Amino acid sequence: MSQDLKHELSEMVAPADWAWISPHANRGAVVVIDPSLDLVEVGVAIATDNTTAVNHWIAEDLITKPSPFQLEIWDQTAKKQFQSLIVQPFVLVQDLVAHEN
């Protein structure tokens, strides 16, 4: 089952600009995923309620809510690009620039 879910989620990963993501941030649904993590793996962990993995990543600051500073910067650059993955009710995002480095 998790292989099917992993494949399904990997098909849903897509680039998105901040203008599209911003309304989701306003409702507190955006989760920032550190570039060192695989976006799909995090999505699978969230979708399957793998609280052990998710809590570990939270404790390590590898998955976070956007900080007020990040939101301010991103609001100034509406065309900023992210990799995104929707795992209801969340929108998982990774910074494309940080991901490419």
Question: What confidence tens digit (pLDDT) does each residue in 21-80 have?
Answer: 999 999 999 999 999 999 999 999 999 999 999 999 999 999 999 999 999 999 998 789
Question: Structurally, how many domains does the chain consist of?
Answer: 1
Enclosing domain of residue 81: 2-100
Max Cα-Cα span within the chain: 41
Rounded CA separation 70/66 (Å): 6
For the whole prediction, is pTM greater than 0.75?
yes
- Residue pair 33/66 in contact by the 8 Å Cβ criterion: no
